[in-house]
Amino acid sequence: MARRDKVTIADIARHVGLTNMTVSRALNKPDKVKPATRERILAAARELGYVPNAFASHLRSRENRLIGLVTASVDNPFYSEVIKAISRDAKKQNYTIMLIDTDGAPELEEVAIETLLSYQVAGIILSPVSDDAEYRPAYLDRLRRARLPVVMLDRTLDVADFSRVVLDNHRAGRLLGEQLVKQDIQQVLALTGPRGSRITQQRLAGLKEAYAAAGVPLALEQRPGDYTLQPAYRDMADYLRHGMLPEAVFGFNQLITLGAMRALHDAHVSRDDVLVVGIDRLPYADIFDVSVWCAVHDTYQAGHEAIQLLFEKINDPAASAREVVIASSLIR
């Protein structure tokens, strides 16, 4: 099928025998054109299949109602729930969300930021690909020069000038550590994020603190991953292939926990033989009669707080950067 060329204002102008300026005015400032002329132009636009350029209209408008949302893992149910909360709050304020998934790639994150800057968004909510203290993406300086409101969510860059919403990761680790102590567990396999991740480090610190406070020895083995399911599955399966069976497995996020549980299932290891605990709620686990101790956070609150911080900065560019911490709680 031949490609259909996009209909332009010039095409409409030729069709009705008027100038480009008159047609443009009828489409963008209809009150400036005589009613009869305006109706003639609009009828021609409909007939030709003209579609307005939303980006160009956006640039002409005095008020930007577009918010960029950049996440490294849109397939993670935790982020999906947070995004839903952000989108709902944005709609209440007549803002539209432009979502970009970087799939954990720094180069795609760079492109995402450049794209949002080109769209002249009103602000950005950013969950970076890494929260390693050494991660310093080049786009930071461009965001600062643009004086663009930015709020970091969950994973954060080690900078002080952007507001942020973070989870109480240390308490999450401690809560699960205390539960493991109660279960008389002394050997733990921790399937974590990257070693350099501050989230991983904080959760590990909370786990170790729980054992130290109880005066119970802890034999801890860490297998670092990238907060996704497949590496966790491979690490758990590899551990089992070597004939080892931990007393407990601690998944450092929802996808890691699910990956570990799948590997245990495939290896025909009973849930009675290995205790599994994890951070983040396991959706629909109760349907399959699966009970897992989880340290959870209110995802709706996380999204709500993130966009409220962004609106705060949009409405008052001089507002100081703030941090909001989302509390951890234990469920089963």
Report angle CA 135, 140, 145 to the nearest 5 degrees: 165
Q: What is the mean pLDDT of the chain?
A: 89
Class of domain 66-167+299-326: alpha beta
- List, in sequence order, every residue forming a beta bridge with 224; answer none if it has no partner: 192
**Banded model confidence at residue 285, pLDDT cuts 50, 70, 90:** confident
Q: Model confidence over 39-63: pLDDT tens digits?
A: 898 889 888 888 776 555 555 554 6
Q: For the domain 9-52, what is the CATH superfamily, name and number? A: lambda repressor-like DNA-binding domains (1.10.260.40)
Q: What CATH architecture applies to the domain 169-296?
A: 3-Layer(aba) Sandwich (3.40)
Q: Give, as one character, the DSSP assignment of residue 254.
A: H
Closest listed residue to residue 234, CA positions, set 220, 255, 218: 255
Q: Output the six-digit token pair for 298.
A: 């209110």
Other CB atoms within a 10 A radius of the CB of residue 288 amount to 7
Report angle CA 176, 180, 185 to the nearest 5 degrees: 155
Q: What is the dihedral of CA 314, 73, 132, 89, to 10 degrees?
A: 20
- Give the length of the chain: 332
pLDDT score, position 202 = 96
Q: What is the residue extent of each domain of the chain?
A: 9-52, 66-167+299-326, 169-296
Other CB atoms within a 10 A radius of the CB of residue 168 amount to 18
Hunting for tokens 């970076």 — which residue is that?
128
Closest listed residue to residue 167, CA positions, set 331, 5, 329, 46: 329
Hunting for tokens 């966009």 — which residue is that?
307
Q: Model confidence over 226-269: pLDDT tens digits?
A: 888 999 999 999 999 888 889 999 999 999 999 999 999 999 99
Q: Model confidence over 148-164: pLDDT tens digits?
A: 999 999 999 989 889 99
